[in-house]
Amino acid sequence: MAELRWHPLIQDWVMIASNRQGRPQMPKDYCPFCPSFGNVPDYEVLEYDNDFPALSQNPPEPDEGIANDFFKVKPSYGKCEVILYSPGHTVTMPELSYDHMKKLVDLWCERFNVMRSDEKIKYVFPFENRGEVVGVTMPHPHGQMYGYSFIPKKLQLETASAKEYYEKTGNCLFCDTLKNELEAQKRIIFQNEHFTVYLPFYCEYPYGVYIMANRHVQYITDLTEEEKYTLGVTIRDTVGMLDSLFDYRFPYMMCMHNAPVNSGDYSKDFHFHIEFFPPMRSADKQKFNASSETGAWACCNPTCPEETSKELRAAYAKYKENEDKIQRV
């Protein structure tokens, strides 16, 4: 079964995708993303159609006899892609070269443009799940990209807040957030010419850093070639920083927030950025989204952002000190 079901209590669509129950835990001696096994060609970076998609551009019709005038349903239209970062099975993002990261950013942009060319797609969402603790079944370095036929609720709230702020002040909410964070300096981790990495004043996760474009752009595809190059380096160094925090491959969810597509003009009020959600609150303790977070959407960060910012700045300094020892591919 694959369909979208309307949730009237929160006014959002829920993806029903029972086919994803069949996702396998890969045997240790096989990987479909390694070229040597013959499932994919030789590549540097590669788009691969998801074998177990929650959304499809040719979705089946919803099952008969379940929906009615009250219970609303529609086909699970959309697109689910896998973005392969490297042919190396055990390669981590900090081990990727500057040029390799630029190719990865270019692939994100290419696939973003392909997805938004479908007028039925309303939101394009590149993301990465890293680590078994967040449910990863495939250890090969990769991310994903979903194209939704609707704007998911969190993005509805975010875009509505940004638009409301712009209408009241004439300013971009994200630009003003960055301005105030830079003035405070308490939660800035590092900055380069084109991007700023910081722990938000209101961060929900202990190490939930944001990467914010210094220039006001609504889409990743609006970045200049130099900005795309720098974005690749910034993402890589952010992951290197997180890995240096406790000296292991730090699990996280990385979510790229662009403006909606095929849904109106967001050029003045939305601002491209990346949000990280690492599920650890210390080296060996996980931060769970329990009843308050899940049932009430009332987040609780068990740490002080100003203190964890110090930890992250120290981890970044440690990563940069040891960067020349990393063998990049």
Any idea which residues carry the catalytic annotation? 142
Strands (E), the chain: 2-7, 12-17, 46-49, 73-75, 78-84, 123-130, 142-148, 188-191, 195-198, 210-213, 252-257, 273-277
Nearest to 219 by CA among 210, 227, 229, 207: 227
Q: Give, for 235, the enclosing helix (H) or strand (E).
A: helix 225-246
DSSP per-residue codes, 144-160: EEEEESS--HHHHHHHH
Residue 103 amino acid letter: K
Q: Give, for 176, the enclosing helix (H) or strand (E).
A: helix 173-184
Residue 244 amino acid letter: S
Within 13 A of 106's CA, how many CA atoms are on the CB side? 12
User: For residue 209, what are the contacts with CB-CB under 8 A and spacing of at least 6?
Assistant: 189, 197, 198, 199, 203, 238, 242, 276, 312
Cβ atoms within 10 A of the Cβ of 183, count?
A: 8
Structure tokens at 25: 């835990």
3-state helix, strand, coil in the chain (%, to 5): 35, 20, 45
Distance, CA of 320 to CA of 316 (rounded, Å): 6
